[in-house]
Structure 1
């Protein structure tokens, strides 16, 4: 990374955190704190508006909500705009903005629902225009006693939204009705997954042909081929996120596609590592793991140029930088480690 990049870091505020941190990331991946903004309790997962002018943070609490903030694009400093209750129940854990910037999409883990919230011209967030409750369960009695939407991701053409539901082992698909602010259930865009897998986060490749899904409960990555006409997803490959001889406890968290399209990375909690996968025409090949040098990497981020990966170790309160080898995808620690309280989600501006 040749120049300094600004980023925002969402956190949990039940410890030493004061909210959302604005940071600068230099060419070596070193993270420097610039400012912090109060954004309600547990402003964990963040979404940046396509204009780059606004940020939205889920408040991952019992009476879950969303906080809207305006971004100073020169400094990355935040100004709070408004906060709403999303009405979807407890623990909204993920949000995204549709490509037009008209709506924020929110997944509620404990509440078992997804919401669609209008965004005003001044960036403020409105009460949900639609709220859909999920039903279902899975074989894991402790974790899959009910539906648990864990993320919501618009498709590459912004016609569909996809919701990995950890509780009932499905990606639930919706048509995005932007004219009426509705999530319209789509059987064609919904896909059943392996029982007990616990789908969590997904990322599309850059031409939208394939999606990569990380499964929390069985520590795997699933590749799905996407039909651009119908929005349907078809499972084409699966690979583990840890070596076969690992017998400890592990649950996965986050997944990202490298800007080159040649590599996919996923995070392991328990094993506390980043897994690397080589991508080849709908297949993924597990290349191995690298320790995150900390504990519980709930999320991680790639710099926009793909040269650096930043692992956010939630339980050890630090962000650790790794160089990404452009030829092999191999990760190597740069030595840059930055203390940040309970980092959960890092989004570049």
Structure 2
């Protein structure tokens, strides 16, 4: 097994758990409090820094991004600096350009940002800002030239060139459409970055886009269901309770060798969708019932392990990946409202 660390955001406890991956499973090293309402973070493993989205609290009237240093021996996270975000907390953070820039997407605030990151991890006020209703995720291409913001409410992926000055310039075309009412949520790149996969929240599909590496533009090719048909889930409706109405409730997406993994929260499943040589997806090879309401999960850098968290669970599950199969290695206490996982 990998000797890396795993970090889990426990939004209900306003804490982040740090685990060490061992041959026996996961060993919880520490639980760092004080990350108010944290539901996502980005990790710079090379510099030992974590950038956590936090909500307003008694000491801070605005939401913000908290920079913490990570002690890899003890797992303790120590606050270093904080930048305020008057427009509201981020729902998704990601790094680009070797950790020198941080991108964020805010669902309630309906805005996305790009911030410069200093050598010590200090996050600047945003150098660029874009606005789309209910943004849910953002990723940059590996070369840091293009950035993609996903808008759940308006069924689109907004696509931009990211300048040397961290300005955002719309591509031609400025957006790539998703099917009406699908609610695109999270995205992932193929290894060659010629395909972008987007998981929808309301229909539980993986949308496949062709990406032109030169221009950065996306074109929708097709879609593949990623929820268990035996559950007979219904098409979700925005602002209605998915669990109460037995609606599809897609959440997170990640890739391993030859497989797209996708989580669905109403039935609490992880789906394995085989990837064809041309980037196309087959229907799921199987479904694994995992932690209750799995909003977030992560795959180890060597793609041998998967850790899943559940919003209605206080434990995380560790799996060994074998093609399209997951083998449970153990479940481990983390905290309330666990909803974001990253390896470090």
Give TM-score, length-normalised by structure 2.
Answer: 0.89
TM-aligned CA deviation for residue 158 of structure 1: 1.1
1:11-26 to structure 2, matched below 5 A, reads 11-13=10-12, 17-26=13-22
Aligned to 1:307: 304
TM-aligned CA deviation for residue 153 of structure 1: 0.4
Find the partner of 1:338 among 332, 338, 343: 332
CA-to-aligned-CA distance 1:34-79 (integer Å, 9 cap, x gap): 1122343112211012634211011156943111111224443222
Matched, 1:199 2:202: no
TM-aligned CA deviation for residue 149 of structure 1: 0.5
Q: Retained in 2: the 8 A contact 1:189–1:231? A: no
SS in 1 for 2:137: coil
Give TM-score, length-normalised by structure 1.
Answer: 0.88
TM-aligned CA deviation for residue 268 of structure 1: 0.5
How far apart, in 2, do the equivalents of 1:277 and 1:189 lie?
29
How far apart, in 1, do the equivalents of 2:179 and 2:55 lie?
28
Aligned to 1:47: 42
SS in 2 for 1:196: coil
Q: Retained in 1: the 8 A contact 2:14–2:36? A: no
How far apart, in 2, do the equivalents of 1:192 and 1:73 lie?
42
SS in 1 for 2:136: coil
TM-aligned CA deviation for residue 189 of structure 1: 5.4
Q: Retained in 2: the 8 A contact 1:50–1:101? A: no
Q: Retained in 1: the 8 A contact 2:308–2:341? A: no
How far apart, in 2, do the equivalents of 1:100 and 1:106 lie?
16
Find the partner of 2:156 among 152, 161, 170: 170
Aligned to 2:229: 244
- Give 5+ residue unaligned stretches, structure 1: 135-146
Q: Call closer, same or farther: CA 1:245–1:347 in 2, change over 3 Å.
A: closer
Aligned to 2:202: 217
Q: Call closer, same or farther: CA 1:37–1:243 in 2, change over 3 Å.
A: closer
1:143-182 to structure 2, matched below 5 A, reads 147-179=133-165, 181-182=166-167
- Corresponding residue pairs, total: 324
Aligned to 1:4: 3
Q: Retained in 2: the 8 A contact 1:237–1:284? A: no
Aligned to 1:138: none
Aligned to 2:239: none
CA-to-aligned-CA distance 1:107-155 (integer Å, 9 cap, x gap): 1101000011221111111221222222xxxxxxxxxxxx111011001
Greater mean alpha carbon deviation, residues 304-313 or residues 200-209: 304-313
Q: Call closer, same or farther: CA 1:325–1:104 in 2, change over 3 Å.
A: same
Aligned to 1:142: none
How far apart, in 2, do the equivalents of 1:284 and 1:52 lie?
36
Q: Retained in 2: the 8 A contact 1:189–1:233? A: no
Aligned to 2:71: 72
Greater mean alpha carbon deviation, residues 221-230 or residues 69-78: 69-78
How far apart, in 1, do the equivalents of 2:55 and 2:200 lie?
21
TM-aligned CA deviation for residue 185 of structure 1: 2.2
SS in 2 for 1:151: strand
Find the partner of 1:35 among 26, 30, 42: 30
- Give 5+ residue unaligned stretches, structure 2: 234-245
Q: Retained in 2: the 8 A contact 1:237–1:282? A: no
